Chains A and B, each alone.
Chain A
Amino acid sequence: MAHLSLHHFLVIGALLFGFGLLAVVTRRNAVAVLMGIELILNAANLNLVAFGRYVAGGISGQVFSLFVIVLAAAEAAVGLAIILTLYQMSRNIDASQATTLKQ
């Protein structure tokens, strides 16, 4: 088994971030967009933990990612609630159609 280095984590994190971003910008389903955001947040978490293990030391990286997980949960709750309301309003959760806030 090869030695796991920081670079591996970073590559995985970058990939995760890339996929997440791709999902956010391409998917029309609002739930899918929310899922993409989760991927991005998790990519960031991976980077935080990895940098905490290889560069900074201590537990500050893990504490940060715990905060991010809590924040992600809250964000998901708020996001899903918005989506639910959006659905109730227009029977539709297509993100590209929901342009009412433009006005």
Chain B
Amino acid sequence: MELTLQHAAHHLVPLATQTASYLWLIPSFPLVGAFINATMGVRLQRRFGKGLVHSIGIGAMVASFAVACVAFVTLFGLDAEDRFLQDTLWKAFSAGKISVDLGFALDPLSMMMTLIITFIGTLIHVFSIGYMADEPSYWRFFAYLNLFIFSMLLLVMGDNFVLMFFGWEGVGLCSYLLIAFWYTDSQKAAAGMKAFIVNRFGDFGFLMGLFLLFWALGGAWQKAPDGKTTYVETDVHAAAYVAAARGEGHGVAHVEVGPTLNFRELRDQIVIADTGVAEKLKSQKLFGFGILAMIGILLFVGAMGKSAQLPLHVWLPDAMAGPTPVSALIHAATMVTAGVYMVARLNFIFALSPTAMGWVAFIGALTALFAASIGFFQYDIKKVLAYSTVSQLGFMFIGVGVGAYWAGAYHLLTHAFFKATLFLGSGSVILGCHHEQDMRKMGGLGKLMPVTKWTYLVACFAIAGFPWASGFYSKDEILWKAFTQEGMAFPFLGLTPHLGQLIYLMGIVAATGTSFYMFRSYYMTFTGVYRGGHGHGDGHDHGDEHGHGHGHVPHESPRSITFVLVALATGAVLAAVIGIPYAWTGHAPLLEQWLEPALPAMVKFAEASHSTEFLFQFIGVSAGVIGWFFARMLYKDNRSQVPAQLLERWKRAWTIVYNKYYVDELYQATVIRGAVSLARVLSWFDKYLVDGLVNLAGAVTRAFANIDGVIDRYLVDGAVNLVAGSALSAGSILRRVQTGRIQTYLYGALVGAIAIVLLNFIIK
């Protein structure tokens, strides 16, 4: 392929950086917004109403988006090779070989992410005005949303792993806070905790991968002849230093070799072959496994948690407990794509290891298929979209797994638009139906909510992969690249020749399923007759608050919501422009050209003619059409009896899929039960052994104290009391002598005198 050749011919040099000292503003605005609303929001809301609260939140977003646009224009004006804006604020810390700057960097990839985050983020903030209008703690919602945007921007803009990880954890925190936004409902609070804990498992893998990478880049501990163990730089470092000193080697001169947390330094030393770092990493092994494969797999475990891949996907459907704008922003458009972004950002590492690539792509394909099948039978509209998100994230991982990094990133972008549209559309429906999420109680909403209907339909076409809607271009590029990728390996199995084709097959089935369940949700919601209404809404008075006199019939959402829906649906269509494939136009897709400098990894794909590519695009479109056709046949206007009959016929299979393959139950039986029984064992240990020891020590001390007490009480106190008591009793006896009568004393004196006289006589 020409593109691949272009890549190979392109000579890789260290990245030139341009200083752009305003980059820090982009994440700062949302942080300030979050700070104001978090500290003063409650008072501002009481004093000036909700208008000020959302003005602060949205104002921060608009400012942030504006600065991001300035950065984009600056970046666009540079030569493709020099597109790298850097803004280092200060050195955060350094310890040993680690040195971490608080620095932001924008290259084409993070620029794309930043634009998505700030643009869609702004729209969703606007959407929230209408959706959260009845919420008493409005200020808290906007504070969390802004904090989330800050963390997400830190994640994508940070120029090193530490900032990325900080953002990574920050978005996890905000996700938790927003899922459990209505924390008085214990189920929703539990969903938040589930998301947090499942993500911790992923984060553990991410950190391990990070440590391993850092370690692998460094030297080694070696024993010198005199028995001392010292840390020595490897021959790679030595060679690089010599080359640097001589000014030899292509571009080695300014490349620092060694452990680093900075993405740019990491990229430079790995992609420039003359440094020898890539070769060293490829040959390095740990416990008999290639270290690159381990790094890739472990880093991907982090992505599995954050991006809800099998088997850590369980938190995402539950995360739908949060408000719908949150589902759209965090659990569809931005946060869950952090894993995809991370793999694309580290493309030069993943591309070095066929095993890591195979692992990422295969898990992605498995998740895409698995989640799509669950989406078939869900009735909760948000659950359908949640599984759809899991499935689409699987597609993205197929893309970044097989080495089509730009396609994965492109699918990330298109998905952000159409899934945000779908989620916000579902939010509009839920609002219209007075917080009803069950599609069986909807139907016929198309006439009542025309804007919502049309935008939802457009997004359905986009996700189902119909030409001229964006999803087609990204999905087909991914699947096409998967088919032509032949160099992937499977962990423990070595190079697997037809893995790419297998993944393609899984992907195309999943794509058919995607089309089916999305149109199923569309037809169930918007066609036929309204099935809700009676028996619901009696206890609600939302209707009045929404400015409508009725509480039963759904109604179109306010202007702030429909505006956002239209904007996002337009984006979902227009995003197609930047991804029209080479086979159609004769030049590489615009986005690929844009992202090329940020994705230096060289991945080989099999040669294939344009006619083959057209054939595959045709298959892709047919997959979407087949899914649409069946959904239309079975669910349009709710007239067909076939779904019910099929359900009867395949009751058991349906039950399994409807219950999400019992994955939650599996976790319950294994991980949670295991954890609980371990806790019980430890509790027993604690209670009987540790407490026993402590209590024994206590008892011994107490016994000694008792003995001591006895001694104290009876011996010491006794002696003291005896002295006092004898003095007392002597006094009480002697006081009787002291009568106060002078004669009595005289008698005493007389008796004494007589006694002395008598004694005098006797002793003589």
- Hey, which bits of chain A sit against chain B, CB under 8 A? 21, 24-26, 33, 95-96, 98-102
Do the beta carbons of A24 and B740 come within 8 Å of each other?
A: no
Which residues of B in the span 720-764 have a Cβ within 8 Å of any Cβ on A? 738-743, 746-747, 750
> Which residue from A21, A24, A26, A99 sits with its C-beta under 8 Å from B741?
A99
3 A-B pairs with the lowest CB-CB distances in the bound complex, closest first: A99-B740, A102-B740, A96-B741
Across chains A and B, the number of contacting residue pairs, with CB separation under 8 Å, is 25
Chain A residues whose CB sits within 8 angstroms of the CB of B738 once the complex forms: 102
Most buried by A among B739, B740, B747: B740
15 intermolecular pairs with C-beta atoms under 8 Å apart: A24-B743, A25-B743, A25-B746, A25-B747, A25-B750, A33-B742, A95-B741, A95-B742, A96-B741, A96-B742, A96-B743, A99-B739, A101-B740, A102-B739, A102-B740
A26 contact set on B, CB distance < 8 A = 743
Shortest CB-to-CB span from B750 to chain A, Å, is 7
Identify which of B739, B742, B750 contacts A21 (C-beta below 8 A): B750
CA distance A95 to B750 in the complex (A): 18
Inter-chain contacts of B746 with A (CB < 8 A): 24-25
Beyond known contacts A33-B742, A96-B741, A98-B742: 7 more, CB 8 A cutoff = A24-B746, A25-B750, A95-B742, A96-B742, A99-B739, A100-B740, A102-B740
List B contacts of A21 (CB < 8 A).
750
Interface class of chain A by DSSP: helix
In this complex, how many residues of chain B approach chain A with their Cβ under 8 Å: the count is 9
Interface class of chain B by DSSP:
helix
A100 to B740, CA, bound (A): 7
CA distance A2 to B750 in the complex (A): 35
Decide: A95 near B743, CB < 8 A? Known: A21-B750, A25-B750: yes
Complex CA–CA separation, A98 to B738 (angstroms): 13
Distance in Å: Cβ of B737 to nearest Cβ of chain A: 11
Complex contacts, B740 vs chain A, CB 8 Å:
98-102
Q: How far is the CB of B632 from chain A (nearest CB, A)?
A: 117
Give every chain B residue within 8 A of A101 (Cβ-Cβ). 740
Residue numbers in B under 8 Å from A95 (CB-CB): 741-743
Give Cα distance in the complex from A96 to B742, angstroms: 7
Q: Smallest CB–CB gap between B735 and chain A, Å?
A: 9
* B-side contacts of A33, CB under 8 Å: 742
CB neighbours of B747 from chain A (8 A): 25
CB of B732 to closest CB in A, whole Å? 15
- Least distance between A95 CB and chain B CB atoms (Å): 5
A25 CA to B750 CA, complexed, in Å: 10
- Which residues of B lie under 8 Å from residue A98 when comparing CB positions? 740, 742
Most buried by A among B738, B739, B743: B743
Query: What's the least CB distance linking A23 to chain B, in Å?
Result: 11
Interface core residue of A33, A96, A101 (most chain B CB under 10 Å):
A96
Smallest beta-carbon distance B223→chain A, Å: 96
Distance between Cα atoms of A96 and B739 in the complex (Å): 9
Q: Which residue of A lies closest to B747 (CB)?
A: A25
- For A28, the closest partner residue in chain B by CB is B743
CB nearest neighbor in A for B745: A25
CA distance A25 to B741 in the complex (A): 10
- Distance A98 CA – B750 CA, assembled complex (angstroms): 21
What is the CB-to-nearest-CB distance from B263 to chain A, in angstroms, rounded to a whole number?
98
What chain B residues lie within 8 Å of A24 (beta carbons)?
743, 746
- Closest beta carbon of chain A to B755's beta carbon, Å: 16
Q: Which of B619-662 contact A (CB under 8 A)?
A: none
B638 to chain A, nearest CB (A): 111
Most buried by B among A24, A25, A98, A100: A25
Closest CB in chain B relative to A30 CB, distance in Å: 9
> In the bound complex, what is the Cα–Cα distance between A100 and B739 (angstroms)?
10
Instruction: Determine the chain B residues whose CB is within 8 A of the CB of A102 once the complex forms.
Output: 738-740
Nearest A residue to B744, CB-CB: A96
**A44 nearest CB across to chain B (Å):** 14
Minimal Cβ-Cβ distance residue in A for B753: A21
Q: Nearest residue in A to B741 (C-beta to C-beta)?
A: A96
Report the Cα distance A16→B316, complex, angstroms: 126
Kindly list chain B residues whose C-beta atoms are within 8 Å of the C-beta of A96.
741-743
**Nearest CB of chain A from residue B590's CB, rounded to whole Å:** 115
Cα A94 to Cα B743 with chains together (Å)? 11
Tell me, in angstroms, the Cα distance from A24 to B740 when the chains sit together: 15
Closest CB of chain B to A12's CB: distance in Å?
Answer: 20
Q: In residues 462-483 of chain B, which contact A (Cβ within 8 Å)?
A: none
A70–B29 Cα distance when bound, in Å, is 112
Most buried by A among B742, B747, B750: B742
Q: How far is the CA of A30 from the CA of B623 in the complex (A)?
A: 138
A24 to B743, CA, bound (A): 7
Chain B residues, CB < 8 A from A100:
740
Complex: chain B residue closest to A30, CB-CB: B742
- Nearest neighbor of A26 in chain B, beta-carbon distance: B743
- Report the Cα distance A100→B738, complex, angstroms: 11
Separation in Å of the B749 CB from the closest CB of chain A?
Answer: 10
Q: How far is the CB of A82 from chain B (nearest CB, A)?
A: 11
CA distance A68 to B738 in the complex (A): 30
Q: A26 vs B738: C-alpha distance in the bound complex, in angstroms? A: 18
In the bound assembly, the distance between CA atoms of A16 and B741 in angstroms comes to: 24
Q: Per-residue CB proximity of B314-338 to A under 8 Å, as 1/0?
A: 0000000000000000000000000
Residue of B nearest to A102 (CB): B740
Nearest B residue to A36, CB-CB: B746
For the complex, give the distance between the alpha carbons of A98 and B746 in Å.
Answer: 15
Expressed in whole angstroms, the Cα–Cα distance for A25 and B742 within the complex equals: 8
User: In the docked arrangement, what's the CA distance between A5 and B271, Å?
Assistant: 149
* Closest chain A CB from B740 CB (angstroms): 3
Query: What are the residues of chain A within 8 A of B743 when measuring CB–CB?
Result: 24-26, 95-96
What's the Cα separation between A63 and B747 when bound, in Å? 31
Report the Cα distance A5→B68, complex, angstroms.
144
CB distance from A19 to the nearest CB of B (A): 14
Q: Which residues of A contact B750 (CB under 8 A)?
A: 21, 25
Q: How far is the CB of A17 from chain B (nearest CB, A)?
A: 11
Complex alpha-carbon distance, A25 and B688, angstroms: 84
Complex contacts, B742 vs chain A, CB 8 Å: 33, 95-96, 98
- Residues of A close to B739: CB separation below 8 A: 99, 102
Smallest distance from the beta carbon of B601 to chain A beta carbons, Å?
Answer: 109
CB distance from B756 to the nearest CB of A (A): 16
Least CB distance from B349 to A in Å reads 102
Cα A99 to Cα B743 in complex, Å, equals: 11
Distance in angstroms from B345 CB to nearest chain A CB is: 99
Closest to A33 in B: B742
Which B residues are in CB contact (< 8 Å) with A99? 739-741
Nearest residue (CB) in B for A101 is B740
Q: How far is the CA of A101 from the CA of B741 in the complex (A)?
A: 9
B431 to A: closest C-beta gap in Å: 95
B741, B747, B750 — most chain A CB neighbours (10 Å)? B741
Distance between Cα atoms of A25 and B751 in the complex (Å): 12
In whole angstroms, how far apart are the Cα atoms of A95 and B746 in the complex? 12
CB distance from A28 to the nearest CB of B (A): 8
Cα of A101 to Cα of B743 in the assembled complex, Å: 14
Question: CB-nearest residue of chain B relative to A100?
Answer: B740
Distance (whole angstroms) from the CB of B487 to the closest CB of chain A = 115
Residue in A26, A33, A99 with the greatest tally of chain B CB atoms within 10 Å: A99
Closest to A21 in B: B750
A47–chain B nearest beta-carbon distance, Å: 15
**Cα distance A96–B750 when bound, in Å?**
17
